[in-house]
Structure 1
Amino acid sequence: MIVGFDYGSSNCAIGTMADDRQVRLLELEAGRCYLPSTLYAQHNTLIVDFVAKQLANTEYGNDYRQSRLALLNGIGAIRQDLDLATGDTGIHIGQAAIDEYIDFPEEGYFVKSPKSFFGAVGLKPQQISFFEDIATAMIMQIKHRAEQQLAQTITHTVIGRPVNFQAVGGEQSNQQAVDILTVAAKRAGFKEVEFLYEPLAAGIDYESRLNQDQKVLVIDIGGGTSDCSFVQMGPSYRGRSERQQDFLSHTGKRLGGNDLDIATAYRSFMPLCGLDSTLKSGLPMPNQLYWQACKINDLHLQTEFYAQASSRHLQAMLKDVSEPEKLARLLTIQQNKLGHQVVRQGELSKIALSSDAHYVAELGCIDDDLTKLVTQTQLQDAIADSLQQICILAQDAITSAQTQPDVIYLTGGSAQSPLIKAALQQSLGDIPMLNGDNFGSVTAGLTKWATQIFK
C-alpha cells in the first residue's frame, strides 16, 4: 500500500489514492484527519520502552535493544514508580498528548513539533538517538491507525520535508534531519521511503487542476519552516516522474507559524511577567529568561530555562526587581513547565486575529483570572520581523529564478493570515495570489507523487 505522509511541524496527515483517483485523507484521531505533532510521555524512557517492544521480533529488534540497554535496564523500576498497568505505554500523541500536558505539565515529558529539532546544530549522538525514538514512536502509532482504516499494510511512502530544516547548519543539518526521519520510518515498518520538498508537494496538488502551463511560486508557511519553490507547472509537465529540470529555484528557512506564536507570546504576555520593567537599581530587566520561556522550538534554550539554576536565579532576583509580583509569574512558568501553554495562547491570538479586531488571551495557568487583550496592531508589531523574513525568502526565490511568476500559490497553516498576504503583496507587487488548502495541499501532493513514483 502506498501513502503520502505529511509529518509536519504543526500537524501530521496521511493520504491515499482512492479508486476514483482522488486523494483521501485518513482519519488519525477522533474523527479528524490532522493529528497535532505532539508527544507526551510520563517518563522519557517509556518512549524507548515502547519502541523496543514494537521492534521485538523484527530485523531491527536486537540491535535496537542492545543500543538502548542502559535505559531499558531501569524501565521496570520506572513503570513500578509510575504505577503503570501491564499494557499501558504511558505515552500519548496528538490531542491526547496536549490534554495530558495541560493536566500534568510538571510530571512528564512533552514535545511539540519534534521535527523542528531534527536539524539542530551540535546535537550529541544520544540526542540524535532520542529524536529518532520520538519520531519512531509517533510514526509507528500514526501508521498503525492508518492501517486499521485501510485494513492493509502500508509499505511505501513519500514524506514531506522543508527546503531547510534549520536557519544554520546548511546541508549537514538537512542530512541529519532526513537521516532521523528515514531511520524512524524504516523502524516503523515502511519498506520504501522517499522525500519531497513540502512546497513542491503543495504545488503538485495545485498543478493537477491546471489546464495551461504556468510559472508558479509556491509559498508554504508551515509550523516550523517557510519554504518557497518556483516551478514550471501545467499539462506539459505533470506527467513526468523526474521534475528536477522544472524547478527554477528553492528558498527556505526555519521560520514558521510556531515562530509567529512565540513572537506573539513574547511581546504580548511576557510584560505581564516583568519584561520591560526595571530592577530596583533602575536598570532594565534582562530579556534572556523571557525569551527562553517562550522559545519552545529551541532545545538548548528550553533546557537552560527549566534547569534548577534558572529557578534559583529567578528566586534570587525577586528581591532586586521593582515589580516582584510580575517576576513571580515567570517563576511560576519556569517551575511548572508552562511555556507550551503560554505559547498556545499566542497561537490562539494569531488565529483569532486573522478575522477579529481583538482577542482576550486566557492566562489563568500562570495567575488566577489573568487575561490579556491582544489587538491586530499588537500582533502586526510582534511578527513584523518574521513577515519581513518571509518576504525576503520569496524575493530571493524570484531573483534566483530570473523570471516573474504568473501566480503565487499560498499554503500552510499560517498562510491564511491577512497580515502575511498584505506583506507579500506590498513586497512582491501585483502578482495574482491564490490560497490552496492550507492544511491538505501538502498531503495531497505527497500522495499523488508517491502514487506516481511507486506505481
Structure 2
Amino acid sequence: MAHACGVDFGTSNSTVGWQRPGQHALLPLEDGKSTIPSVVFYNADEEQFSYGRAALTEYLAGYEGRLMRSLKSLLGSGLIDGQTEVGGQALPFRDLLGKFIGELKRRAEQAAGREFTQAVFGRPVFFIDDNAAADKQAQDTLAEIALSAGFTDIAFQYEPIAAAFDYESTIDREELALIVDIGGGTSDFSLVRLSPARARKADRRSDILATGGVHIGGTDFDKYLSLAAVMPGLGLGGLLLNGTEVPSAPYFNLATWHTINLAYTRKAAEQLKDVYREVRERDKFARLIDLVEQRAGHWLALQVEAGKIVLSDSPTAQLSLDRLTPPEMIHLSREQFHTSIAPLISNVENTVVRLLSDAGVAADQIDSVFFTGGSSGVSLLRQRIAAVVPQARQVEGDLFGSIGAGLALDAVRRFS
C-alpha cells in the first residue's frame, strides 16, 4: 500500500485519496462520506472551530461566529495576506487555510490508520489567469501551508491530468480524451492520450498534448445567478435621489463566496447607512441592511447555490428566502440561469477551442470527453462543449471524486 496520498483541496469540496489494492481510493472524511465541504466556521459561543458539513450546520443553526468558504480562491490574490476577525481577534487567512489543510490531513490519517507525510496536491491549470508570477505565488503559498500542516514532501499535479489518470484506469483501449474539470473556482482542461499500456509509464509528459484553463467555476455561476435573480430585490440596479445607480459593491461582495465577510465590517455598515439616506427605494435597501446585520450573507449564498443545483436537473427551482424582511419566494427558471451565466460559458467554450488549436488537433480526432467537477453538470456548459467536439463520446466520471482518485494514483508513481 502506498505511503503517500493525493489531496484535492477544492474551492467548494475536498477529498483525500490513498491507493490500496482492491479498495476505493477515496478516504471517508466526514460522516462516512469521501467529500468534505471546504468550509471553516468559528463558533463564538463555544470558542472553537468546526469544518465541513458540521460547520455549515452550526452556522445555519444560528450560532454566533464567522463562516469562511471558498478559501482556495484567496490563493494568488492580494487577500491571502489579509485577515479576518474571529472571536474578537485577528486571524490571518493563511492560518485559516492551514487549519483546514491540517484538518484534512488529520481526518485522512484517522481513516487510513497511518500517518501521511508525502502528498500530491491537485492544482488548477491557472490559479490566476494571464499572470505567471501570481500563479507561481499561489502554488508556493499552498506548498508553504501544506508544509506547516505537517506534510514533508509535496508535489503538484494539474487537476484535469489527475482526472485523466482516474478515467484511464477504467478503459481497455487507447483514446484521445478531452478532460473537462469544472470546479468551484476554475474550469480546467487537458488533452491526453490514454491507454492501459500508457498507464504503466512513469513519465507521462509525452502523452499530454495540451492543458488549459480559465478562472471561472461554480461559485461564479452562483454569483451571477444571485446578481440577476436575487440582488435586484435588495436594491441592486436602483437609483439614488440624484439619478445615479445605487453602488454595486455590497451586492458583489455578498454574491461572491470569499468576499461575503467584507460586507460585515464596521466601515461597510456605515457606508450602507449613508447610502440608505440617498436611495429612492428605501424598502428594498432596508432589506439589504437587515440581511447584513443578521450576517446572513452565507445563508443567502447557500440558497442560491441550492437553486443552481436544482436547475441542473429541473427546468425550474424555488428559493424560500425566509430570513428576508419580509420573507420572499423567488421562482427561478433554467432559461434565466443560462442567460445570467452565458458570457461565462462562452469564455469556457473559447478556452476549449483554443486548447484544440494549441494542440493542433481537429475536433473529430477526439474520442471521448470526460466530465468531472461538481459544476460540470450545468446543461448549457455540456451543450456548448458538445458542439465543439460533436463526434466525441461523453463520459461522466465521479464529479466529486475523480481528481482525488487520480491524485492517489499519481502519488504512487511519484513516491513509491
Kindly indicate whether residue 15 of structure 2 is the aligned counterpart of residue 13 of structure 1: yes
Q: How far has the Cα of 1:256 moved from its partner?
A: 0.6
Deviations along 1:293-322, whole A, 9 cap, x unmatched? 212234xx853x333333223223323323
Kindly indicate whether residue 188 of structure 2 is the aligned counterpart of residue 227 of structure 1: yes
| Equivalences for residues 266-277 of structure 1 within 5 A | 266-277=227-238
Change (3 A) 1:197 1:83: closer
CA–CA separation in structure 2 for the residues paired with 1:157 and 1:83: 33
Deviations along 1:80-129, whole A, 9 cap, x unmatched? xx675xxxxx1111112212323447x433210211111114754879x9
Which one-letter code corresponds to 1:397 in the other structure? L
Sequence identity percentage: 31
Q: How far has the Cα of 1:192 moved from its partner?
A: 1.7
Please state whether the residue corresponding to 2:172 is helix, strand or coil: coil
Q: How far has the Cα of 1:180 moved from its partner?
A: 2.2
Q: Which residue of 1 aligns with 2:354?
A: 396
Q: Which residue of 2 aligns with 1:110?
A: 67
Does structure 1 retain, via aligned residues, the 8 Å contact 2:82–2:93?
no
Does structure 1 retain, via aligned residues, the 8 Å contact 2:181–2:371?
yes
Please state whether the residue corresponding to 2:277 is helix, strand or coil: helix
Q: How far has the Cα of 1:283 moved from its partner?
A: 4.0
CA–CA separation in structure 2 for the residues paired with 1:302 and 1:125: 12
Q: Which residue of 2 aligns with 1:139?
A: 101
Please state whether the residue corresponding to 2:313 is helix, strand or coil: coil
CA–CA separation in structure 2 for the residues paired with 1:126 and 1:349: 31
Does structure 1 retain, via aligned residues, the 8 Å contact 2:80–2:94?
no
Does structure 2 retain, via aligned residues, the 8 Å contact 1:342–1:363?
yes
Kindly indicate whether residue 376 of structure 2 is the aligned counterpart of residue 418 of structure 1: no
Q: Which residue of 2 aligns with 1:194?
A: 155
Q: How far has the Cα of 1:211 moved from its partner?
A: 2.0
CA–CA separation in structure 2 for the residues paired with 1:83 and 1:158: 35
CA–CA separation in structure 2 for the residues paired with 1:236 and 1:6: 26
**1:183 counterpart (133, 141, 144):** 144
Kindly indicate whether residue 211 of structure 2 is the aligned counterpart of residue 250 of structure 1: yes
Deviations along 1:373-431, whole A, 9 cap, x unmatched? 11111111111111111111111111111103222211100112222111222344443
Please state whether the residue corresponding to 1:23 is helix, strand or coil: coil
TM-score by length of 2: 0.91
Q: Which residue of 2 aligns with 1:432?
A: 393
RMSD of aligned alpha carbons: 2.2
Query: Structure 1 unaligned runs (5+)?
Result: 44-81, 85-89
CA–CA separation in structure 1 for the residues paired with 2:76 and 2:120: 19
CA–CA separation in structure 1 for the residues paired with 2:277 and 2:283: 11
CA–CA separation in structure 2 for the residues paired with 1:96 and 1:83: 14
Q: Which residue of 1 aligns with 2:57?
A: 99
CA–CA separation in structure 1 for the residues paired with 2:313 and 2:399: 16
Q: How far has the Cα of 1:288 moved from its partner?
A: 3.0
CA–CA separation in structure 1 for the residues paired with 2:109 and 2:221: 35
Change (3 A) 1:122 1:289: closer
Does structure 2 retain, via aligned residues, the 8 Å contact 1:23–1:447?
no
Query: Structure 2 unaligned runs (5+)?
Result: 85-90
Does structure 1 retain, via aligned residues, the 8 Å contact 2:182–2:376?
yes
CA–CA separation in structure 2 for the residues paired with 1:92 and 1:310: 27
Please state whether the residue corresponding to 1:442 is helix, strand or coil: helix
Please state whether the residue corresponding to 2:309 is helix, strand or coil: helix
Q: Which residue of 2 aligns with 1:441?
A: 402
Does structure 1 retain, via aligned residues, the 8 Å contact 2:43–2:58?
no
CA–CA separation in structure 2 for the residues paired with 1:293 and 1:135: 21
| Equivalences for residues 322-341 of structure 1 within 5 A | 322-341=280-299
Kindly indicate whether residue 1 of structure 2 is the aligned counterpart of residue 39 of structure 1: no
